[in-house]
Chain A
Amino acid sequence: MIVPLIVFFACAALAITGAIMLILAREPIHSALSLILVMIALAILYLLLGAEFIAAVQIIVYAGAVMVLFVFVIMLLNAGVEERTDYSKLAKYAGVPLGFFLLIEIARWMYGSSAGSAIASGAGAITGAVSTRDLSSALFRQYLFNFEATSLLILIAILGALVLARKNQ
């Protein structure tokens, strides 16, 4: 069964392409659209990992709600082409290699760590999806207090957004 590997590599390539396009795009709207590409690729990967509920949440909340908010604000503010600033030569010549060094280092650590290698040696080859039923019972029993605290957090965020975005005076 080579199909999961093909799907994985296709989605991984899609996600990395989207992330690089997010960096390279000059217009904020292009960045937003490439970020939506990353999120959809990640949703397919969640399906591959057997987390259907998380994949649906990824599509509905992230690609749907949050990114629509971003696109709406970009259109509202008429944010145009990003100006390139060359204030810091240090950022250009030291930042790029250091950023990619960090990227490679994180990936290398994850690949070589004991947890990663233990998982790579077969622990990951488990079939059988985690059912949404189990997830919801964990969410509403074991994590009930956290869930309620989350609703309070959302309420505070809405109030804060209203207060901040209100017209002055």
Chain B
Amino acid sequence: MSVPISYYLVLSGVLFGLGVVAFVFKRNVIAVFMSIELMLNAVNLAFVAFARAHQQLDGLVFVFFVVVVAAAEAAVGLAIVIMMAQNGQSLNVERVHSLGEGGPTYLPGGSAAEPRESLKS
């Protein structure tokens, strides 16, 4: 017998949940972007599973568009990451606050003018 579609949906849900957990818990900007990619992949799996279940092509076309949007998002997001690194900001998402007013006060050691050595992280 072939694999029931609900198995794919459960796997998709589990992967999406793991992506959410990674998005919340990762501290590196690049890792946060990667967890977004993981969530998009989980959604793609659900799209393909539904497309097969209903024998409709529209799901596969949507997967195609999701892939394109993910590629565009990765390009722009990584450009922003490079810009942050060029401006000498940390890659830690908790230390990025140059848009805030003077930076937050609740971070120990997170001054507004973070020196370049905190790039690793």
Give A119-138 interface residues, CB cut-off 8 Å to B: 119-120, 123-127, 130, 134-135, 138
Q: Which residue of B5, B80, B94 contacts A85 across the interface (Cβ within 8 Å)?
A: B94
A-side contacts of B41, CB under 8 Å? 38-39, 42, 62
Look across to chain A and name the residue whose beta carbon is closest to the beta carbon of B22: A23
For window 27-69 of chain B, which residues contact chain A by CB distance below 8 Å?
27-28, 30-31, 33-35, 37-38, 41, 44-46, 48-49, 51-55, 57-58, 60-61, 63-65, 67-69
Interface residues on A, range: 35 or more
Contact residues, B2-32 vs A (CB, 8 A)? 2-22, 24-28, 30-31
A-B CB pair tally, cutoff 8 Å: 269
Q: How far is the CA of A65 from the CA of B71 in the complex (A)?
A: 8
> Are B94 and A125 closer than 8 Å at their CB atoms?
no
B48 touches which of A46, A66, A79, A120 (Cβ 8 Å): A46
Chain A residues engaging chain B, CB cutoff 8 angstroms: 1, 4-5, 8, 12, 15-16, 19-20, 22-23, 28, 31-32, 35, 38-39, 42, 45-46, 48-51, 53-54, 57-58, 61-62, 65-66, 69-70, 73-74, 76-85, 87, 91, 95-96, 99-100, 102-104, 106-107, 109-111, 116-117, 119-120, 123-127, 130, 134-135, 138-139, 142-143, 146, 150, 153-154, 156-158, 160-162, 164-165, 167-168
Residues of B within 8 A of A (CB): 1-22, 24-28, 30-31, 33-35, 37-38, 41, 44-46, 48-49, 51-55, 57-58, 60-61, 63-65, 67-76, 78-83, 85-87, 91-92, 94, 106-108, 119-121
